Amino acid sequence: MTESRVRILCNAGAMIGESPALLGDSVRWTDPVSRHLLRFDSSGNFEEVTTPASIWSLAPLPDGTLAGALDDRFCTLTQAGEIAAGPAATIDAGCRFNDMTTDASGGLWVGMMHRGILATRGAIFYSRSVSEPPARVAAGLGVPNGMKVSADGKTLFVVDTLERTLLAYPVDRGTLGEPVIVSDFLGLPGKPDGMTLGPDGTFWVAMWGGSSVVQLARDGAYLRRIDVPAPHVSSLCFAGQSRLLVTSSRMRLSPQALLEHPGSGGLFEILLEHS
């Protein structure tokens, strides 16, 4: 039997807390709407710096450098929020980059979404490094969100929030094959948003509007739901074998909802306990 404990680590008040990335003893995440880069360390210190542009997502590179996704290109970031941007991708009118991930060779993957959330306008881009222009490798999605590359590097898993699906794309040297649907999240409250892979290869998904994180088996079967005291749970990452760091949002919450869920926009911790 597996139980869990949930607590708030830092009430950051993020409008949209996104894309937590563990670097050393600290976690970094982004609030792209407010143009803030956030940091919380193991000593309980919180830091917030303003960035010159919206950083939509973050992911660590194999050498420990923090990479980010701007509107139409990748970048690297310093702790002070200084941005070193790479070359631009050719993206569609009305669109921008969204969630990203990196692979073991340093390749960068990112989803593109329409700002008006129009169906079929989403796409996936890939670049071998920040210094190379991202190339389109998949199209026809809704809103590509949480994404991770499998441990063997052969599969890219992508959440499509608009279609409420978890997709698996075969990967071959920076190109993607035809995807298959792993899960449609049938019957689960909220919309799938950020996603990460557990040490055992299971999927952990933040449910926006669902006040929860859900765990899915490798074949997409539902395993469990863990409630989080914030309506909009946005993203998550593992910090060790049984510790999850979870971001949340205050976006579009009524005054009453904020009163009932004062930690909205904060960073939460889930400790998975085995008994």
Q: Are 222 and 207 in contact (CB under 8 A)?
A: no
pLDDT of residue 10: 96
Tell me: pLDDT of 3 over 90: no
Tell me: pLDDT of 275 over 60: no
Residue-wise pLDDT for 190-248, tens only, equals 999 999 999 999 999 999 999 999 999 999 999 999 999 999 999 999 999 999 999 99
Tell me: pLDDT of 174 over 70: yes
Q: For residues 198 and 209, what is the distance between their CA atoms, to the nearest angstrom?
A: 22
Strand partners for 272: 4
pLDDT of residue 1: 43
Domains in the chain: ranges and CATH: 1-20+191-275 (2.40.10), 51-184 (2.120.10.30)
Residue-wise pLDDT for 101-150, tens only, equals 999 999 999 999 999 999 999 999 999 999 999 999 999 999 999 999 99
Give the three-class secondary structure for 184: coil
- What average pLDDT does the chain have? 96
Q: Are 128 and 135 in contact (CB under 8 A)?
A: no
Q: Are 113 and 96 in contact (CB under 8 A)?
A: yes
